Amino acid sequence: MRYASITDRLSNLGSGKWAVHAAARAMAAAGTEIIELTIGEPDMPPDEALLAECARAMHAGRTRYSNGRGEPAVLKALTEKYRKRRADVTEKNILCFPGTQTALFAVMLGLVEAGDAVLVGDPLYATYEGVVASTGARIVPVPLHPEKRFHLQAADLERAITPECRVLLLNTPHNPTGAVLTAEEIAVIGAVCRRHDLWIVCDEVYEELIFGGEFASPFNDPDLAERTIVVSSISKSHAAPGFRSGWAAGPVEFCERLLPVSETMLFGVQPFISDMTAMAVSQRFDTAAVMRENYLRRARIVESALVGEPLLKTMMPEGGMFILVDVGATGLSGEAFAWALLTEQQVAVMPGSSFGEEARDFIRISLTVPDERLETAARRMAELARSLRAGEAKRA
Ligand SMILES: Cc1ncc(COP(=O)(O)O)c(C=O)c1O
């Protein structure tokens, strides 16, 4: 039978990236005890009040169809959230989606197509390749340098731009590097985007998980308002990824243009989840603060466990739920190190190569497991590095 080309474009994007994770799950299913540090899923439940609100809404009959833009209460809550950033925001600037991932997919579909290109910092979040490829556009990678703490440099961006480029896909705080852009950096990046008439799509799903300083976004700058679209959700901020509740916030004209796309895809989002989301966005919960504290403490645990190991270099994150370790000095790629760590030490991590060419010497560790387990895992990483060093010395 014949299929559309999207199925070819997306066919090879998943399996290779997740091979270590899949092998770890298979080993665990066969009875081996594995410390799994691959995927980034909050290790705490959503606040009890949010679960109760969702149940209340369901029992109150909030189980009917919604509309394409979003339920009034959640649109109001999101308008208030973004109006704190920019005074001109109204409900016309918001569209609800089932999670950041769906928002990204729809937004990209509305901005680019075959023949266009999307600029993305490399390393990049694993699904971006598929999101861009599904539209028929291609990715133009912009290298992010470890010596610049993986912060996107405006000069690198400018150098990478080709006439096909239509969009800069930003992510701050960044997965996998934990880089958090400053307002000054965003201002110079924004100036480049204005000069080249680029859209800025900013994935801010880790907005509430920064370890210090002020969160900054191109959305906050009135000079970038006409070209900036934020995508985000309650997945990370409220430890609620399974609810699939997110949104896009962008220019009114963009929202009007995208609404029929969203309606065609979704026929609206779920009212009972919208009620819970409205509560999440408009009230204060301590979930994000607890996670921030946990993830920072755990990043420091990894750092201090590896501090005496000359072949492993930790890159302290500025936000998010991951830490990168540079394993290049061991002589192994991140991928080879990850496989050795799994088979010899029963610890599963993501190879950096799953996040792009620039991360090939790294492994990514998820900080979503209890402290002691993470410390044990870090000690095993050091053990593997020491055994590689000993092997190297023997051969020399
Ligand atoms: C950078 C980034 N964007 C988007 C997502 C997906 O978020 P959501 O659950 O809101 O679809 C993730 C999930 O890990 C992520 O790391």
- 390 C-alpha to ligand 1 centroid (Å): 40
Whether 175 is in the pocket of ligand 1, judged by its Cβ within 6 Å, is yes
Whether 322 is in the pocket of ligand 1, judged by its Cβ within 6 Å, is no
Note whether 42 and 321 are within 8 A (CB).
yes
Every domain range in the chain assigned CATH 3.40.640.10 = 48-282
CATH of 5-44+287-395, one of 3.40.190.10, 3.40.50.10090, 3.90.1150.10, 1.20.120.1460: 3.90.1150.10
Q: In a 3-state reduction of DSSP, which class is residue 139?
A: strand
- Alpha-carbon gap, residue 129 to 356, rounded angstroms: 9
Its CATH class, for the domain covering 48-282, is: alpha beta
| Shortest-distance atom of ligand 1 to CA 233 | 10
Every domain range in the chain assigned CATH 3.90.1150.10 = 5-44+287-395
Whether 172 is in the pocket of ligand 1, judged by its Cβ within 6 Å, is no
| Shortest-distance atom of ligand 1 to CA 203 | 3
Note whether 355 and 176 are within 8 A (CB).
yes
Note whether 382 and 357 are within 8 A (CB).
no
- Alpha-carbon gap, residue 116 to 164, rounded angstroms: 5
In whole angstroms, what separates CA 292 from the centre of its chain?
A: 16
Per-residue pLDDT of the chain (396 residues; tens, 9 = 90+): 999 999 999 988 867 889 999 999 999 999 999 999 999 899 999 999 999 999 999 999 999 999 999 999 999 999 999 999 999 999 999 999 999 999 999 999 999 999 999 999 999 999 999 999 999 999 999 999 999 999 999 999 999 999 999 999 999 999 999 999 999 999 999 999 999 999 999 999 999 999 998 999 999 999 999 999 999 999 999 999 999 999 999 999 999 999 999 999 999 999 999 999 999 999 999 999 999 999 999 999 999 999 989 999 999 999 999 999 999 999 999 999 999 999 999 999 999 999 999 999 999 999 999 999 999 999 999 999 999 888 776 776
- 391 C-alpha to ligand 1 centroid (Å): 40
- Alpha-carbon gap, residue 104 to 109, rounded angstroms: 8
Torsion of CA 342, 346, 352, 354, to 10 degrees: 70
- 100 C-alpha to ligand 1 centroid (Å): 6
Q: How many CA atoms lie within 13 A of 217 on its CB side?
A: 27
- The tokens for 168 are 């800069």
Whether 233 is in the pocket of ligand 1, judged by its Cβ within 6 Å, is yes
Which alpha helices (DSSP H) does the chain contain, by range? 5-11, 19-29, 48-59, 72-83, 100-111, 128-135, 154-160, 183-195, 252-266, 271-282, 287-306, 334-345, 371-395
